[in-house]
Amino acid sequence: MGTRIVAQHAWSAADNTALAGSTHRLGGPQQGLWGSRGFASAPLDVTKEVDAVNELFAAARDEIEYAKEEAETVYFNESVAEAKKAVEACLGRWEALLAALPEEERQRVMRSMGLKISQLQAEYDEVAKLHLDDH
């Protein structure tokens, strides 16, 4: 079997902006190459999405740490709520990324990041348990 190579041009916002000023052949202005909404099936930038998940992961870990530090204070309930929001944001972005990937790429991303995402959930569960034990 041969290797299939696909050449793609990833259209950027600059490409659409440059085309937005062009004139349609019927005389009216065009709204970018694919109309005002853009091209719906643009290729997923996996690196960008992984970076976004990593940023949310770091923020969630920080919120969990803040909650742990405030376990014996009046701020604990608020800290747990903030940690929950941060963890949910990270997990939501993670799940959306996985859902958007083809199987082979999904497996690769899961191997590289899945353990730390599971650890994040476990760390939050530990803080949430402290929260429940407190009530």
**CA triple 18-52-31, angle to 5 deg:** 20
Amino acid (1-letter code) at residue 43: P
Which of 96, 10, 104, 106 has the alpha carbon at shortest distance from 53? 96
Residue 35 has pLDDT above 60, yes or no: no
pLDDT tens-digit profile of 37-55?
333 455 789 999 999 999 9
User: According to the model, what pLDDT value does residue 39 have?
Assistant: 38
pTM of the complete model? 0.66
Residue 91 has pLDDT above 60, yes or no: yes
Task: Give how far the C-alpha of residue 135 lies from the chain's centroid of Cα atoms, to the nearest Å.
Answer: 33
DSSP 39: -
User: According to the model, what pLDDT value does residue 62 have?
Assistant: 98
pLDDT tens-digit profile of 104-113?
999 999 999 9
Q: Which residue has the higher pLDDT, 65 or 2?
A: 65
A 10 A CB-CB count for 47 gives 8
